[in-house]
Structures are given as C-alpha cells and as structure tokens.
Amino acid sequence: MRINILTLFPEFFDSFKEHSIVKRAVEKEQVEINIVNIRDFAEGKQRQCDDMPFGGGAGMVMKPEPLLKALEQNGGKVIYTSPQGVRLNQKLACDLAQEKEITIIAGHYEGIDERVIDSKVDLEISLGDFVLTGGELPAMVISDSIIRLIPGVIKKESYENDSFYNGLLDYPHYTRPAEYEGLKVPDVLMSGHHKNIDEWRLKQSLKRTLERRPELLKDREFSKLEIKLLKEIKGSKKNDI
C-alpha cells in the first residue's frame, strides 16, 4: 500500500517513519510512505500556500492551486482530516487498509479552500470533537491505524485481540511479577486453564464495555456464551447493591 501525505510541514513525519512497527513495514515494503511538501507545488517567489478568507474574518485559508497540483501526482482515495468529517473507528481503518493507495491532505490555519474538498476529496475524517492546530497528527493517527492492519505487518492474533476487533473493549492485561506490593494477578490467569482464561477475558471485555461504552453493544449480536456471561455480570451487579 502507498500512503501519500500532503503537508506544509514534512519534518513532522520524520520520527513517525523511523519508529518500530511502521519502520519495519516500510523496510519490508508492505507500505510506502510518501511525504509531499505542498510548497513544492506553489508558484511565485514566495511560494505562497495560504491567503485571506473571502468574507473576512480571522486566520488564513490554504489556496486551492498548490493542493490541486499536488493531487495530480498523488492519487488513490483522497482523505482530508477535520472535525467536520466522519469519525475514525476500527471498521473504517480496516476498510482503508484494503486500498492500494491513499492520499491524506494535512490542513493548517483555518483549513483548505472548500472547492478542493468538493472536487477532489473522497472522504473527510475526524478523530473526535476537539480542535487541533493542524492535520499532521490526524494524518499520522490514520496512517498508523491502517498500517498495523496491512496483512503481515503484525501477527493476525495481535489484531484479532484488539479492542473493537470483536466489537468490545479490551480485557485487562498482566505480566510479572505475580504479586507487587500486595497487588495480585487474578488467579485464573495463573491456572494454565485456557478455556477458563478465554472465558474470563471475554467476561471482562463484556463487563468493561457495558460499564464504559454501552452504546457499542447496541448493534452487536451475542453468542450463547456471551449471553450467559452478560447474565452473570448483571446478576452480580444487583447482588452488590
């Protein structure tokens, strides 16, 4: 897969490309990360990429021409990141991991000229209801969530156990020491009884999802085992009161 990122701040991405899993994926040619400096496509001595907003108001707007020229050479699915987009989730990351090429536009200032969005952007993505100073971090977040889902980048078992892979939050994890200042690891995890461990983990996932993100359970179908575990969870809650 090829990921093009159009940005006014290419240096932002140096450490991203150089870090463990992403770096390994690049070296194994599972992904190509192509950082494109938008300024290289700007005209004039100043190579101006922004201008004042029509209608007035504070801040600057990124000019259409440099972006449109950069997009002539960088194709696939074109993504723009902003709070106005659809929310990123694991399902969307999975879908995007199937693409052969994507191009992410990282905006700055007040954003990019709307005509670029109307004519060239296939998908506007938001990370959540907050405002950042630029699109570089969202571009890295989206790329990172996609890259680890490209076949062969991480072990299948690793992402099968992810939060959201099965529509549930993750269960708690423990490592050595078995006891730390009186705090013990749950006995079942030390038992070596894999069926009990799997069931405990599933129950913890269900319990956490019910407590923290109940809306995730709305459109989900449950197995017989999950229904049994949910009953146990709900039953023990009543007993606690």
- Distance between first and last Cα of the chain: 53
Report in angstroms the alpha-carbon separations of 190 from 37, 88, 193, 195.
Answer: 53, 37, 8, 13
Contact 211, 169 (CB under 8 A): no
**Which residue in the list 11, 95, 110, 198 is annotated as catalytic?**
110
Answer yes or no whether residue 131 interacts with ligand 4GY by CB under 6 A: yes
The string over 55-76, giving b where at least 16 C-beta atoms fall within 10 Å of a residue's C-beta and e elsewhere, is eeeeeebbbbebbeebbeebee
Residue 134 is a binding residue for ligand 4GY (CB under 6 A)? yes
Q: Which residue is nearest to ligand 4GY (CB)?
A: 107
The catalytically annotated residue of 10, 39, 83, 199 is 83
Q: Is residue 182 left, alpha or beta, with left meaning phi > 0 and alpha meaning psi from -120 to 50?
A: left
Q: Site for ligand 4GY (CB under 6 A): which residue of 138, 143, 204, 206? A: 138
Active site residue 148: yes
Is 212 among the catalytic positions?
A: no
Does 128 participate in binding ligand 4GY (rule CB under 6 A)? Answer: yes
Q: Does residue 135 belong to the site contacting ligand 4GY (CB under 6 A)?
A: yes
- Phi, psi dihedral angles at 86 (to 5 degrees): -80, 145
162 is catalytic: yes
Neighbours of 186 (CB within 10 A): 12
**Between 93 and 122, how does the x/- string for binding to ligand 4GY read (CB under 6 A)?**
--------------xx--x-----------
11 noted as active-site residue? no
Q: Segment near ligand 4GY (CB under 6 A), from 30-38, 133-141, 170-178, 195-203? A: 133-141
Length reported for the chain: 241
Residue 82 in contact with ligand 4GY, rule: CB under 6 A: yes
Residues in the site for ligand 4GY, rule: CB under 6 A?
Answer: 81-83, 107-108, 111, 126-128, 130-132, 134-135, 138
The residues assigned a catalytic role are 83, 110, 148, 162
